[in-house]
């Protein structure tokens, strides 16, 4: 005993033991202990009161600490696994490089105010505003840096299915679409006033996206918007006039999602007919179809040019395509629980298996090395394109199905200012200029992403 406890600690323990045995009505044991200790310890009745319950408290504290230690050991084991699967590059940069940054739990902010499942999220290209749409018919605008609700926008009469920021230079708008068959345009500069409603679709409007600058017919403006609908069509709108300028027909069922290429020349869409289509916007004709999924396709995405060096080897190419070509690779996620990577000609180059339920949304890391996905299995999964698309991180993101994920758009560091966040980085190449070898350094990747879920929450993950 003397080797472990000091004389004072031993005395405290003996007194606590005598107090415990007295309280537990064990007079014989108590007397035996007192006799063995002899004159080395004297315990008065007043002293016993002081030590009552001390032994029990110490005991329960030890149990709690043991549980805490076990939890920490589990956490350490998980972090060690992450380190073991990390790329040497990311290790050497100590995760300070935004190109290698990946989200981790817990989220920085839990944003709660919606009364029904959250269906979509979108970041303002310049300010720290985040929009979320919900089945409760509202759109909510949050400050994602502060984690505060700024305002609630009402106007739709049924579920809001998608939101997106974009629009003409210097005039960012928020577009939303709904099961009420309409698309609405809101002006963030005028307290999100509803400035236009676009009717025309014959069924629910599932997705809406601004087409970046460089689009055919309007190379220097971002005034075009594309929508996908359950009426089996895609429609292209001029947001300055409110007119539908083109209707794309070819899908044989509900079109769930649509994505424009970074230079605005192509569209990629998919849905219930399980056959994604790549469209040439200028002609309005399908350029390629993609066969392989075995269930409804929920989401589509264009690979950024930064991912070409990692996707090219998977596609069997000796060197990556030029950065001036913005529609070389695409990704799809479906209810068959898989994610598929394709080249622009419709050839399947990789199938990513790992999610345990429907894949709901996809986003490529702006740095190009990763693809992130969310699903009804409540997780975010991070796929490393440099390691044969291995899943290198799984985050338990929500308490229910995860419906959406968006990455905060990068800021452009050049003299054009933040307006470039709307897509101006691609306008030079779209207009025939040479590739800028320093383009990547001019892009400031924001290590921020948001997810929406059926658990009514929007979560913001940030470095």
| DSSP H or E segment with residue 364 | strand 359-364
- Report which of 414, 451, 386 is spatially closest to residue 100, judged by C-alpha positions: 386
pTM: predicted TM-score of the whole model, two decimal places: 0.74
- Pairing status of strand 205-210 against strand 224-229: antiparallel
Backbone angles phi, psi at 44, to 5 degrees: -85, 165
List helix spans (H) across 290-436: 308-314, 424-430
Of 169, 101, 172, 99, the C-alpha closest to 141 is 172
Q: Which helix (H) or strand (E) holds 89?
A: helix 88-92
pLDDT tens-digit profile of 397-431? Answer: 999 999 999 999 887 554 333 334 433 333 333 33
7-85, what's its fold?
Mitochondrial Import Receptor Subunit Tom20; Chain A (1.20.960)
- Tokens for 20? 């415990």
Q: Minimal CA–CA distance to 211: which of 169, 264, 141?
A: 264
Cα–Cα dist 319/421, whole Å: 28
Q: Dihedrals φ, ψ of 328, to 5°?
A: -90, -35
Does the domain formed by 109-410+446-462 have CATH 2.130.10.10? yes
Long-range contacts of 73-82 (CB under 8 A, 24+ apart): 82/392, 82/393
Domains 7-85 and 109-410+446-462 alike in fold: no
Q: Are strands 243-249 and 255-260 parallel, antiparallel or unpaired?
A: unpaired
Task: State the Cα–Cα distance between residues 240 and 222, nearest whole angstrom.
Answer: 10
Low-confidence ranges of the chain (pLDDT < 50): 1-2, 89-95, 215-220, 414-442
Would you give the distance in Å from CA 312 to the centre of its chain? 25
Model confidence pLDDT, tens digit, residues 323-350: 888 899 999 999 999 999 999 999 999 9
Whether the CB-CB separation of 239 and 180 falls below 8 Å is answered with no
Residue 326 CA: distances (Å) to CA of 260, 305, 433: 10, 6, 14
Distance between CA atoms of 131 and 120, rounded to whole angstroms?
8
Query: How many angstroms separate the first and last alpha carbons of the chain?
Result: 50
* Structure tokens belonging to residue 104: 């981790």
Structure tokens at 4: 């472990």
Q: Strand order of the sheet with strand 266-271? A: 255-260, 266-271, 277-280, 285-289
Greatest alpha-carbon pair distance for the chain in Å reads 103
Residue spans of the domains in the chain: they are: 7-85, 109-410+446-462
Other beta carbons less than 10 A from residue 213's beta carbon: 28
């Amino acid at each position: 005993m003397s080797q472990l406890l000091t004389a004072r600690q031993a005395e405290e323990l003996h007194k606590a033991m005598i107090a415990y045995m007295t309280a537990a009505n064990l007079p014989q044991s108590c007397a035996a202990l007192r006799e063995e200790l002899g004159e080395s310890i004297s315990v008065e009745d007043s002293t016993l009161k002081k030590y009552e319950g001390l032994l029990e408290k110490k005991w329960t504290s030890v149990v709690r600490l043991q549980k805490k230690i076990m939890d920490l050991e589990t956490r350490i084991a998980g972090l060690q696994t992450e380190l073991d699967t990390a790329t040497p590059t990311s290790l050497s940069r100590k995760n300070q490089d935004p190109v290698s940054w990946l989200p981790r739990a817990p989220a920085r902010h839990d944003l709660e105010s919606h009364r029904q499942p959250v269906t979509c999220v979108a970041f303002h290209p310049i300010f720290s505003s985040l929009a979320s749409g919900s089945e409760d018919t509202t759109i909510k605008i949050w400050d994602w840096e502060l984690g505060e609700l700024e305002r609630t926008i009402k106007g739709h009469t049924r579920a809001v299915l998608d939101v997106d920021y974009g629009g003409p230079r210097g005039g960012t708008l928020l577009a939303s679409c709904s099961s009420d068959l309409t698309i609405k345009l809101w002006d963030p500069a005028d307290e999100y006033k509803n400035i236009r409603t676009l009717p025309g679709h014959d069924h629910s409007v599932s997705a809406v996206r601004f087409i970046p600058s460089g689009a055919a017919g309007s190379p220097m403006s971002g005034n075009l918007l594309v929508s996908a609908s359950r009426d089996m069509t895609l429609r292209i709108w001029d947001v300055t006039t409110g007119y539908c300028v083109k209707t794309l027909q070819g899908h044989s069922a509900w079109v769930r999602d649509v994505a424009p290429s970074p230079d605005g020349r192509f569209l990629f869409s998919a849905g219930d007919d399980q056959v994604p289509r790549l469209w040439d916007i200028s002609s309005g004709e399908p350029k390629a179809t993609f066969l392989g999924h075995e269930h409804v396709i929920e989401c589509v995405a264009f690979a950024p040019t930064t991912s070409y060096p990692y996707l090219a080897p998977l596609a069997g190419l000796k060197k990556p395509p030029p950065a001036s070509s913005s529609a070389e690779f695409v990704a799809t996620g479906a209810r068959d629980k898989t994610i598929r990577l394709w080249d622009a000609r419709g050839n399947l180059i990789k199938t990513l298996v790992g999610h345990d339920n429907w894949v709901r949304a996809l986003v490529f890391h702006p740095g190009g090395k990763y693809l992130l996905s969310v699903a009804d299995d409540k997780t975010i999964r991070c796929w490393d394109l440099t390691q044969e698309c291995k899943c290198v991180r799984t985050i338990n993101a929500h308490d229910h199905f995860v419906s959406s994920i968006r990455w905060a758009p990068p800021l452009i560091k050049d003299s054009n200012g933040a307006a470039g966040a709307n897509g101006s980085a691609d306008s030079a190449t779209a207009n025939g200029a040479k590739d800028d070898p320093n383009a990547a350094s001019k892009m400031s990747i924001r290590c921020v992403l948001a997810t929406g879920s059926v658990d009514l929450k929007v979560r913001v993950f940030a470095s």
